[in-house]
Copies of this chain bind each other. A is one copy, B any other.
Amino acid sequence: MDTLTGPAEVIQTSAIALDKLDYDAWLACFTEECSYEITTHQNEVNHWPCGLMHAFSKNQLRDRIASITTVNIYEPHRYRHILSQSHQSKDSLNSIWITGFSVYRITLGKPTILFVTGEYRDQFKFEHSGVTILSRQIVLDNDQIDTLLAIPL
CB distance from A112 to the nearest CB of B (A): 5
Residues of B within 8 A of A90 (CB): 2
Residues of B within 8 A of A11 (CB): 85
0/1 per residue, A1-28, Cβ < 8 Å to B? Answer: 0100000110111011001000000000
| Copies of this chain assembled into the complex | 3
Residues of B within 8 A of A108 (CB): 42, 143
Q: Measured between alpha carbons, how far is A105 from B104 in the docked complex, in Å? A: 16
Pick from B12, B81, B87: contact of A86, CB under 8 Å: B12
0/1 per residue, A54-73, Cβ < 8 Å to B? Answer: 00000000000000000000
CB distance from A39 to the nearest CB of B (A): 15
Classify chain A's interface size: 35 or more
Q: Does A141 contact B (CB under 8 A)?
A: yes
New A-B pairs, 5, CB < 8 Å, besides A16-B100, A106-B141: A9-B87, A41-B78, A82-B117, A83-B85, A108-B143
